[in-house]
Amino acid sequence: MTPIIEFRDVNKYYGKLHALKNINLTINEGEVVSIIGPSGSGKSTLIRTMNGLERINSGQLIVTGHDLADKATDINKIRKNVGMVFQNFNLYENHTVLENVTLAPKIVLKRPDDENKEIAMRYLEKVGMADKANAYPRQVSGGQKQRVAIARSLAMHPKVILFDEPTSALDPEMIQDVLDVMKYVAEQGITMVVVTHEMGFARKVGTRLIFFDKGEVLEDRKPEEFFAHPDTERARDFLSKVI
Ligand code: ADP
Ligand code: MG
């Protein structure tokens, strides 16, 4: 197994709040890791450290071979390999759908225009948004925005894509379309780390399940085992509320 992300004794504080407590965790190539847990437990903090959106206070965090805790590490190099999909899409509102997908490959990867557009259209096709290529984000629905955001990530050909509650801001009827696209991403063999409340996704698409609470990994197991027999009282209590 090839590790893509490795936490070694990682701690993170917000002032006095101990948000990540001595995290030791290795995520390997090809895994689809779902992270579930109560609100405020530190899931976003955990996933945002993985591409340097949050800094850690101690320990080592090796992402695609580089230690994020090392000041000499160039974060932009790492972000080429680490995509991120947010709850609120974070599309560029003043750019078209197509431009949203072509912008980073053009600027960061210096991909030539023709090839860039071809690759972007191919991914927009995959997520069912090719016919909206020239629309602006405000002209499409939340679910459609999220599918564009996923196409945008895919177009960078990252080693791993991080998802922080990608369906939590969506109307219920749009959730499944986005989950279907995420399933497609998983089928491509792209490593995924997904903070989610979608237990169906965690159970059926995920290859590994992390139950996170109060800044700690409480369970880290195969999804089917977790859902059949959660080990901890806190996980049982959480599941009783969400299922
Ligand atoms: P989750 O994603 O599981 O809901 P978060 O990682 O967002 O949890 O938050 C974990 C804890 O850290 C919460 O108590 C939250 O209030 C706190 N927190 C998150 N971001 C910040 C911040 N930028 N400054 C101070 N406290 C924060
Ligand atoms: Mg969160």
Comparing C-alpha atoms, which of 217, 216, 181 is closest to residue 198? Answer: 181
Question: Cα(164)–Cα(166) distance, rounded to whole angstroms?
Answer: 6
Regarding the beta carbon of 44 and ligand 1, being less than 6 Å apart is answered yes
pTM above 0.95, yes or no: yes
Residues pairing with 63 in the sheet: 5, 66
B/e letters for 197-233, b = 16+ CB within 10 Å, e = fewer, are ebbebbeebbebbbbbbebbbbbbbebeebbeebeee
Ligand 1 atom 25: residue of nearest CA? 14
Ligand 1 atom 14: residue of nearest CA? 40
Regarding the beta carbon of 223 and ligand 1, being less than 6 Å apart is answered no
Q: Residue type for 204, please?
A: K
Model pLDDT for residues 144-173, shown as the tens digit of each residue: 999 999 999 999 999 999 999 999 999 999
Centre of ligand 2 from the C-alpha of residue 89, in Å: 14
Ligand 1 atom 18: residue of nearest CA? 14
**Element at 137 (helix H, strand E):** none
Enter the tokens of residue 42.
Answer: 């530190």
Q: Do the interacting molecules here have an ipTM over 0.85?
A: yes
Other beta carbons less than 10 A from residue 67's beta carbon:
16
Model pLDDT for residues 185-231, shown as the tens digit of each residue: 999 999 999 999 999 999 999 999 999 999 999 999 999 999 999 99
Regarding the beta carbon of 43 and ligand 1, being less than 6 Å apart is answered yes
Give the ligand with the smallest distance to the CA of 19: 1
Residues pairing with 193 in the sheet: 33, 162
